[in-house]
Amino acid sequence: MLYLHSFIIVNMQQDYISFRDTGYFSKLMCDYLDMKPEVASFYNRYPNIENFKSQIEEKKEAFTTASRQTLVKALQNQYKHIKASSLTLNNIELIRNTSTFTVTTGHQLNLFTGPLYFLHKIIATINLAKALKNEYPDCNFVPIYWMATEDHDFEEINYFNFKGKKVQWHREDGGAVGTFNTVGLEAVFNAFASQLGQTQNAKELKRLFKSAYLEHDNLAHATRYLANELFKNYGLVILDADDKDLKQQFMPYVKEELLANTAYKTVTETNKALSKNYSIQVNPREINLFYLSKGVRERIIYNNDLYSVNNTNITWTKEQLLEHVALKPECFSPNVIMRPLYQEVILPNLCYIGGGGEIAYWFQLKAYFKSVKVPFPMLLLRNSVLIQTKKQKDKLNNLNISLKTIFLKRHVFINKKIREISNINIDFTEQKKQLEAQFQELYTIAQQTDKSFLGAVKAQEKKQIDGLNYLEKRLLKAQKLKLADQVSRMTTLQNELFPGQSLQERNTNFSELYLEYGATLIPSLVEALNPLKNEFLVLTI
C-alpha cells in the first residue's frame, strides 16, 4: 500500500485508555474485548491475527469463483467514471484470485462524511488489510467501504456538525437515500463555505464539497467520489451493493426469508440467550426485507395469504412474488438483520469492522448464518480516537488532569477535581463510617432490649446520614464558587475535547481538523491507528 510519509506529522504522541475506563462503551463491548465467556457463543473467532488463518480457510472453501467474477464486474462498472488510483484498480482485479479476501466496514451516506469516526472506521479497515498481508504474504487483502445506499433514514445523514453548529440539507424524504438527487446542496455549500475562511486548507475543503455534491447527480455517486478522494492512495475499494447482478446472488436467501421466516426464528432464539446478560440492539421482523421502487423503500408484510408492501397498494400471491423476485432482484432490499448476510454472500470477506452498536447486532446473527450455511465473519471493534493539540495536552498536564479523569461525565469530572484541588476535605466518607459504627451499637442495644426500637434507630440513622450528604453537597458547591477560575478552565478544556459532552469522534466533522492539519490529517491517522490494539487512542498532533 502507498503511504504519504512526507505528510505525516512527526511529533505525534500516542496515549491509550481502555474502552471500559472511558465510560462510553457498553458492557457487551467491554466483555467482548476481555473475551468473557458470557459472550463466546455469539461470535465465531476472536480477531487475533493468528485466528485469521482458520477464517481464510473457511471462506476460501465457501466462496465461489463465479461470485468473484460477478463482484469484479460490478465494481469495474461502478468505477467507470471515477479517477481511481492504480492501487485501488489493482485491488479490484485481485478479487478474481482465490487467494484474495476482503475486510469490510460499512457506513451511512452522511453529508460530508458526518462524524469523525467515518475516517477511523475506514482507516482501521485499510490498516487491518495491511497487517494481514504482513502476516499472510501468500494472500491478498482488500479494504472495502460498503456504502449504505439503501438506507432510508434521511434525518440521520442530512447534516454534519461544524464548530458547534449544524450544517444541514433540507429536502423531501422518501426511498433509498443513495438515489436522492443533489438538488439543494448548493445552498448548503454556500452556507458552509462562508464559515471556512480563505486558507489553503479551507480552499481544499471547498473543492472537495463542491466536486462531490455539486458535480454528481445523486448521493451515492457523491459519496463514492468523496471517499475515493480521501482514501484512494491506500487502495480502498468502495462498493454500492444496490446492484442487480450482486442481488441476483442473494435471491435464494430472499426466497427463504419470504417463505420460511428463517431470520426471525433464529434471531429471536439468540435474543433470548443474549438478553440474559446484555441489552438487545435490534429485533427481527417476520420478514426482514424492504421493497424498493422509485421514491419507495417499505417493508414487505405477509397477511391473509397475501404479501404486500407497507403504505402502498402493492400486493402479490406467493407465486406472483416468487416470479417477481426472479425477474426483479434489484427491488428487494435487506434490512439491518439481513444486510450482514447479504454482505457475506457477495464478498470474500473475513472480518467486519464497526462501532459498538454495529458489532452488538452482529452478535445476534451467528445462529442465523449457521442455519443458512454462510461463514460468519470475525468482528472487530473499530478504532476510537480523541485528537488533541499539543497545547491542549499541556493544559491537561498543568491542571493535573489524567486521561481517565477527562473522560468522566461533566458533573463527576468537576466534582472529582474540586475535591482534589480544594484545601478543605470535602469527602465526608470517614464521618459517615464513624456514624454507621455508632448506630451499629444502637442496633445491638435495640436487639437486646426492645426490637420495636429498631425502626426508630434506622430512621435516625438515615436522617443523620442524609444530613451529612447535604452538608457535603453544600461544601462542594461553596468550593466550586471559590475555585470558579479553575472550574472554568477545566470545563472549557473538556468542552473542546468532548463537544456536546460526547466523544469527539461522534460529534465533530473531519473538516474542523482538516482546517488545522490539512493533507497531514489522514496520513497521520493511518500511521497511528492499530486496529488490533483494542484500546482507545488519545492522539496528540
**Whether residue 200 sits in one domain with residue 119:** yes
Q: Is the pLDDT of residue 5 over 60?
A: no
User: Model-level pTM?
Assistant: 0.90
Q: Is the pLDDT of residue 447 over 80?
A: no
End-to-end CA distance of the chain: 23
**Whether residue 379 sits in one domain with residue 397:** no
Per-residue pLDDT band at 7 (split at 50, 70, 90): low
pLDDT in tens, 346-388: 999 999 999 999 999 999 999 999 999 999 999 999 999 999 9
**Whether residue 231 sits in one domain with residue 122:** yes
Q: Is the pLDDT of residue 424 over 70?
A: no
Per-residue pLDDT band at 184 (split at 50, 70, 90): very high
pLDDT at 478: 60
CB 120 within 8 A of CB 382: yes
pLDDT at 456: 79
C-alpha cell at 504: 469527539
Evaluate whether residue 112 is within a structural domain.
yes
pLDDT at 540: 97
Q: Is the pLDDT of residue 426 over 60?
A: no
pLDDT in tens, 79-138: 999 999 999 999 999 999 999 999 999 999 999 999 999 999 999 999 999 999 999 999
**Whether residue 111 sits in one domain with residue 17:** yes
Evaluate whether residue 326 is within a structural domain.
no
**Whether residue 448 sits in one domain with residue 383:** no
3-state secondary structure of 376: coil
Strand partners of residue 13: 540
pLDDT at 286: 97
**Whether residue 473 sits in one domain with residue 521:** no
pLDDT at 122: 98
Q: Is the pLDDT of residue 337 over 90?
A: yes
**Whether residue 106 sits in one domain with residue 44:** yes
Q: Which helix (H) or strand (E) holds 416?
A: helix 410-421
Evaluate whether residue 292 is within a structural domain.
no
Evaluate whether residue 308 is within a structural domain.
no
Q: Is the pLDDT of residue 67 over 90?
A: yes
Over range 502-516, report the average pLDDT: 97
Number of domains in the chain: 2
Evaluate whether residue 51 is within a structural domain.
yes
Per-residue pLDDT band at 476 (split at 50, 70, 90): low
Q: Is the pLDDT of residue 435 over 80?
A: no
Over range 410-433, report the average pLDDT: 75
Over range 309-322, report the average pLDDT: 97
pLDDT at 173: 78
CA-to-CA distance for 314 and 307, rounded, in angstroms? 8
Over range 382-400, report the average pLDDT: 96
- Contacting residues for 139 by C-beta, under 8 A, at least 6 apart: 56, 99, 100, 101, 132, 133
Over range 239-265, report the average pLDDT: 98
**Whether residue 497 sits in one domain with residue 360:** no
pLDDT in tens, 139-166: 999 999 999 999 999 999 999 999 999 9
CA-to-CA distance for 366 and 375, rounded, in angstroms? 9
The label of the residue with cell 429471536 reads 268
Q: In 3D, which of 541, 538, 522 has the Cα closest to residue 124?
A: 522
Least confident span in 26-40, 113-127, 179-193, 421-435: 421-435
Q: Is the pLDDT of residue 344 over 90?
A: yes
| Chain mean pLDDT for the chain | 93
Q: Which helix (H) or strand (E) holds 407?
A: none
pLDDT at 459: 80
User: What is the Cα Rg of the chain in Å?
Assistant: 27
Q: Is the pLDDT of residue 417 over 90?
A: no
Evaluate whether residue 290 is within a structural domain.
no
Pairing assessment for the beta strands 100-107 and 349-354 based on DSSP bridges: parallel
Helix (H) and strand (E) counts in the chain: 23, 15
Q: Is the pLDDT of residue 472 over 70?
A: no
Q: Is the pLDDT of residue 1 over 50?
A: no
CB 330 within 8 A of CB 244: yes
Evaluate whether residue 265 is within a structural domain.
no
Spatial strand order of the sheet with 140-147 comes to 237-240, 140-147, 100-107, 349-354, 378-381
CB 534 within 8 A of CB 18: no
Q: Is the pLDDT of residue 280 over 80?
A: yes
**Whether residue 394 sits in one domain with residue 384:** no
Return the higher-pLDDT residue of 462 and 73. 73
pLDDT above 90 coverage of the chain, percent: 82
**Whether residue 520 sits in one domain with residue 399:** no
pLDDT above 70 coverage of the chain, percent: 94
pLDDT in tens, 8-23: 565 899 999 999 999 9
Q: Is the pLDDT of residue 428 over 70?
A: no
The boundaries of the domain holding residue 469 are: 390-501
Evaluate whether residue 273 is within a structural domain.
no
**Whether residue 51 sits in one domain with residue 119:** yes
**Whether residue 513 sits in one domain with residue 496:** no
